[in-house]
Amino acid sequence: MYNMDKLFEAVAARGPVCVGLDTAADYVPPGERQRASSDAAAILAFNKAIIDATIDAAACFKVQIACYEELGLAGLETYARTLKYLREKKGLVIADIKRGDIADTALRYAKSHFEGDFEADFVTLSPYMGMYSIEPWFSYAQSRGKGAFVLMRTSNRGMRDFEYLELKTDPPAENAAGAGVPGGSVPPRRLYHAVGDKLAELAGTRRGVYGYGAFGAVLGCTEREEAAAIRGRYSGLFFLIPGYGAQGGAADDAALLLRKGNGGVVNASRSILKAWTAAPGAENEGAAADNPAGRDGVNNAFAAEAARGAALEMRDAIRKAVKNRDREEEP
């Protein structure tokens, strides 16, 4: 069984939320941060509290390694210990590392992130250097069930620079973008389609029990007008969907990239980790006895409870959007 199958089951059981542990030190409640021996220690304790509070409200977690690397060796130790804690709790985890290098090096990276101190269930990868830079990782799909999400069309401002570039298509582009667009003119074929096509081909070689390939794609939920065509065209790719919340994507946008509420996980980081800053009581942190955070001010338990609330709210919003969409689609 591939990890992608486990992820499908997790979404079916607990909804499509992916909790992004992109934990910057200033996401930790100030009192907790102050009491901790270091920022790295503060982040680890915060992560554990968030994991405990959200594990039954989310399909999986995503850990952005940059937030840990920023703190140097101590930060990477916190990264490793966060992954270890997730393994102990049987939480599925995506290591957001966006690696992409020549085959020899890719194999070393795969060993780094699919085994040992930094072992994760999934990674994110960058496709620029081509499929030979992806394949060494793919060998771990067979041997250990590991999965990956390869950058396809992201949700950031820069995506139009290259991902959107229009490719030359020689003869009438029958197989090009937007198969399934009825009647009209042939839509442009972009770089991200070329990446998606290669990924679909790769995914087809190791398809799991629910029809999705062992490797999927990163697909931002910020470009609503293309979402349905993409979901239709890449039916065998499981999506990691960033861009929700802070980056402008909404439940409706995310729902368009899902299929019957599955086939993807929707990541949110800040809106979950920092939910405590908007929770009742946080604004008077530590000031009064009726402060829900208690006399100690906003602590990790308070932040974790707020995170849980935000994750559940997000899950319900996406479920509702999926339902509305399914209703629209039935004629």
In the complex with a copy of itself, which residue's Cβ is closer, 106 or 307?
Answer: 106
Query: Does 201 interact with a copy of itself (rule: CB under 8 A)?
Result: no
Closest CB to a copy of itself among 125 and 307? 125
Tokens of residue 84, six digits: 């270890």
Of positions 30, 165, 248, 292, contacts a copy of itself by CB under 8 A = 165
Residue 148 sits in the site that holds a copy of itself (CB under 8 A): no
* Number of neighbouring beta carbons within 10 Å of residue 24: 18
**Nearest CB to a copy of itself, comparing residues 169 and 277:** 169
CB of 76 to a copy of itself, least distance (A): 6
Question: Does residue 238 belong to the site contacting a copy of itself (CB under 8 A)?
Answer: no
C-alpha to C-alpha distance for 197 and 207, rounded to whole angstroms: 15
DSSP state of 124: E
Binding flag, residue 295, a copy of itself (CB under 8 A)? no
- Upper half-sphere CA count for residue 152 (Cβ side, 13 Å): 28
Residue choice 128, 142, 235, 287 for contact with a copy of itself (CB under 8 A):
128
Please report whether residue 175 would count as binding a copy of itself according to CB under 8 A: no
In sequence order, which residues have a C-beta less than 8 Å from that of residue 112 and are 6 or more positions away? 118
User: Catalytic annotation on 84?
Assistant: no
80 near a copy of itself (CB under 8 A): yes
Q: Compare residues 135 and 305 and give the one whose CB is closer to a copy of itself.
A: 135
Separation between Cα atoms, residue 93 and residue 87, nearest integer Å: 8
Report the candidate in 117, 65, 55 with the shortest Cα–Cα distance to residue 86. 55
Distance between CA 118 and CA 80 in Å, rounded?
5
Q: Is residue 84 involved in binding a copy of itself (CB under 8 A)?
A: no
Contact flag: residue 188 with a copy of itself (CB under 8 A)? yes
23 part of the interface to a copy of itself, by CB under 8 A: no
User: CA 70, CA 44: separation in Å to the nearest integer?
Assistant: 14
Among the listed residues 170, 171, 165, the one whose alpha carbon sits nearest the alpha carbon of residue 195 = 165
Please tell me the distance from the alpha carbon of residue 126 to that of residue 106, in angstroms, as a whole number: 11
Cα–Cα–Cα angle for 275, 281, 285, rounded to 5 degrees: 95
The reply to whether 205 sits near a copy of itself by the rule CB under 8 A is no
Among 72, 211, 292, 294, binds a copy of itself (CB under 8 A): 72
Q: Of 75, 146, 84, which Cα lies nearest the Cα of 118?
A: 84
Options 52-60, 188-196, 209-217, 258-266: segment touching a copy of itself (CB under 8 A): 188-196
Cβ atoms < 10 Å from Cβ of 72: 10
Binding part of the chain for a copy of itself, among 194-202, 230-238, 278-286, 294-302 by CB under 8 A, reads 194-202
131 vs 108: CA distance, rounded Å: 16
Among 15, 100, 216, 245, binds a copy of itself (CB under 8 A): 100
CA distance 178 to 228: 10
Least separation in angstroms between residue 154's CB and a copy of itself is 5
Q: For residue 180, which phi and psi values (nearest 5 degrees)?
A: 95, -10
Per annotation, catalytic residue among 98, 111, 168, 198: 98
Shortest CB 268 distance to a copy of itself, Å: 14
From 47, 54, 82, 154, residue interacting with a copy of itself (rule: CB under 8 A): 154
Collect all residues with Cβ–Cβ distance below 8 Å to 283 and sequence separation of at least 6.
Answer: none
Query: Counting contacts by CB under 8 A, is residue 173 touching a copy of itself?
Result: no
Give contact residues for a copy of itself (rule: CB under 8 A): 22, 24, 64, 66-67, 69-73, 76-77, 80, 98-103, 105-106, 108-109, 111-113, 116-118, 126-133, 151, 154-163, 165-169, 188, 191, 194-195, 198
Q: Which residues are catalytically annotated?
A: 98
